[in-house]
Amino acid sequence: MSALALATLDLSEYAAGLNARLRSRPTLDVLRTAIRELFPGEIALVSSFGAESAVLLHLVAQVDPATPVLFLDTGKLFSETLSYRDELAARLGLSQVRVLTPDPKTLAANDAGGTLWFRDADACCRIRKVEPLQRGLKPYAAWINGRKQFQAATRRDLPLVESDGVRIKFNPLAQWTPEMIAAYFAAHDLPRHPLVAKGYLSIGCEPCTLPVAEDEDARAGRWQGQDKTECGIHTVIAPFPTRTRADD
């Protein structure tokens, strides 16, 4: 499915049809269908190289290790995340890891001191995550991400396939449980992000991430003390300028 063909469809309807067709299929089958059949050359995986990312990266590498992997380097990440990214990419043979960074001019104009996260986290996420991802996703008709229903109350109803208003979005691990994730790590001897051993179960930017207690949601350590629960890449991607055929 090319981006051009996608532009002629009702994306919500198309996503719902794909969801019904694929939701009972094994995860690897879903990824094969998405990457090889539906969107060959038009799909990217977006990965944070966080606590559980190795599972989806390993699955995608089995389908095609040259699948583009978009990585948002906000400039505020833990150094451990950057090392883990390089280690995993080499281990899995991922040849197309593409690093997305904030626009330097926007950064200079809005966050020259690097403390916007403290004053206005939504604005900081918009500049350091949402806008760079919007630019990075421009060439693609579809994307894959690793969100799961169990991660937070706000993700309980996450479908396998959805539309973000502009593209098709695959959530292949939506119904995976923590036990399935742990079993997959063990079965494939995948390395853990070094901060997991220190209680970080969801790992974002250093200023906005804390370890969590055993009885807390994995994402409870993100933006602790604030109402904020999402960075915006999954909630405000659609309102950005609509793709036009000239963009494709």
Residues lying near ligand SF4 in the complex (CB under 6 A): 74, 76, 117, 121, 124-125, 128-129, 204-205, 207-208, 231
Rounded least distance, CB 167 to ligand SF4, Å: 22
Rounded least distance, CB 230 to ligand SF4, Å: 10
Closer residue to ligand SF4, CB minimum distance, 76 or 155: 76
39 Cβ neighbours under 8 A, 6+ residues apart:
1, 140, 141, 142, 168
Rounded least distance, CB 202 to ligand SF4, Å: 11
Rounded least distance, CB 9 to ligand SF4, Å: 33
Half-sphere exposure of 38 (CA within 13 A, CB side): 26
Whether 161 contacts 22, CB under 8 Å: yes
> Rounded distance, CA 224 to CA 243, Å?
35
Rounded least distance, CB 217 to ligand SF4, Å: 17
Closer residue to ligand SF4, CB minimum distance, 119 or 192: 119
59 Cβ neighbours under 8 A, 6+ residues apart:
27, 28, 31, 172
> What residues are annotated to the active site?
231
> Rounded distance, CA 180 to CA 59, Å?
13
Say how many Å lie between the first and final Cα of the chain, rounded: 13
CA 102 to chain centre: 16
Q: Which residue is nearest to ligand SF4 (CB)?
A: 205
Q: At what angle do helices 178-187 and 53-63 cross, to 10 degrees?
A: 60
Q: DSSP characters for 169-228? A: EE-TTTT--HHHHHHHHHHTTPPPPTTGGGT-SS--BGGGB----TTS-GGGGBTTTSS-
Which tokens go with 30?
């879903």
> Rounded distance, CA 195 to CA 170, Å?
27
